[in-house]
Amino acid sequence: MKKHYPVLLKEIISIISPQNGGTYIDCTFGQGGYSKKILSYPNTKVYAFDRDDKASTFAYNIKKKYKERFYFKNKKFSQISKSDISNNNIDAIIFDLGLSYTQIFDPKSGISFKSKGKLDMKMGINEFSANEVVNLLEKKDLEKIFYKFGEEKLSRLIANKIIIQRNQRKLHTEDLVSIIENTKRYKKGTHKATKIFQSIRMFVNKEISELLFGLINSFKIIKPGGKIIIVTFHSIEDRIVKYFFKNFSEQRNYSRYFPDVQNNKKLFILKNKKPIYPSNSEVNKNPSSRSAKLRYAEKINESDVFQDEFLNKFKDLVEVENISKKL
């Protein structure tokens, strides 16, 4: 199996300072790159999450080495506040929203446009697959998914061609790739199918609500002074993370129903207002890191009144996810 390189590892270690010990949460365990590095420092403890049960194999090997300092949960990271770790004095919570090599290079996953056969794209703990999305949803719904989650300009045309072709036979991965390639003009750079495949994967795995509630629940359980660190790989994710950190690091009122003294406070302090990018040497070693952006913030206050405002900001994206109720 191809080795997964943990993106921006050096920068993350510099931010969280595990040489001083502490308790950390690795929300996107994958092959365990971040967890292993943190645990290499004494007096550290790591709680790891991954929705993909294939990550359990890598977790088992780490558990053998760090029995009393490593704990793995096969759960979505949006469930972080419902686990038994909320009173563990958490120093940092880390999210790497990129795909694991375990998923990308699994031919059965259907996440890559190089895959063959039945459409899948499930990352674990799913209600439906890409097969149902592409072969069952109406044209207007497909168009909305492609446009909102893939920012695809030709979403209407591609959705129309999918409907025409699936009326003849059920579509598989290679059929979808062929439709996209025959619709879009050649453009140097990323593969023509990238945006459509991204949009379907995000929809199948409800990645928007996962991220929204992952951020909300991380804030709930991390201690004041603790850091939330997120590595994103596309503009939609980054827009959500940027808003969360920037908006709630400003002096402001959350609701007219609460006195100013309760609500006029910052939740975070930003040490870096701009994202941190991989170095040239890292990109050369691991080209898939080239689109990564790291943002982080330090929690400074408690609050229970920001959630509705945050969710409302991105309700249009959650409404697209709710198309899944038709499946």
Distance CA 212, CA 275 (A): 19
**Total residues belonging to the chain:** 327
- State the average pLDDT over residues 69-89: 89
CATH code for the domain defined by 107-205: 1.10.150.170
Pairing mode, strands 22-26 and 44-49: parallel
Mean pLDDT to the nearest integer, 272-278: 95
CATH number 3.40.50.150 is the correct assignment for the domain at 9-96+207-303: yes
Q: Which residue has the higher pLDDT, 92 or 190?
A: 92
Average pLDDT for 272-281: 95
Q: Are 268 and 215 contacting, i.e. CB atoms less than 8 angstroms apart? A: no
Asked whether the beta carbons of 216 and 265 are under 8 A apart, the reply is no
The Cβ of residue 88 has, within 10 Å, a number of other Cβ atoms equal to 16
Please name the residues in contact with 89: beta carbons below 8 A apart, sequence gap of 6 or more: 23, 223
Kindly report, as residue ranges, where domains of CATH 3.40.50.150 are found in the chain.
9-96+207-303
C-alpha distances (whole Å) from 215 to each of 44, 57, 219, 255, 256 are 23, 27, 6, 20, 24
Decide if pLDDT at 325 tops 50.
yes
Per the CB < 8 A criterion, the answer to whether 52 and 105 are in contact is: no
Find, among 30, 80, 35, the residue nearest to 212 by Cα.
Answer: 80
Q: How confident is the model at residue 88 (pLDDT cuts 50, 70, 90)?
A: confident
Domain with CATH 1.10.150.170 in the chain: 107-205
For the chain, percent of residues with pLDDT exceeding 90: 81
Cα-only R_g, the chain: 20
E strands, the chain, in order: 22-26, 44-49, 70-73, 90-96, 222-232, 268-269, 293-299
- pLDDT for 105 equals 61
Average pLDDT value for residue range 109-132? 87
Alpha-carbon distance of 111 to 120, in angstroms, equals 7
pLDDT, position 184: 92
What percent of the chain stands above pLDDT 70? 91
Query: How sure is the predictor about 181, in pLDDT bands with cuts at 50, 70 and 90?
Result: very high
Question: How many Cβ atoms are within 10 Å of 282's Cβ, its own excluded?
Answer: 19
Task: Tell me how far apart the alpha carbons of residues 109 and 254 are, in angstroms, rounded to a whole number.
Answer: 42
Q: How far apart are CA 307 and CA 30, in angstroms?
A: 28
Q: What is the DSSP string of 63-84?
A: HHHSTTTEEEE-S-GGGGGGST
* Phi, psi of 179, rounded to the nearest 5 degrees: -60, -45
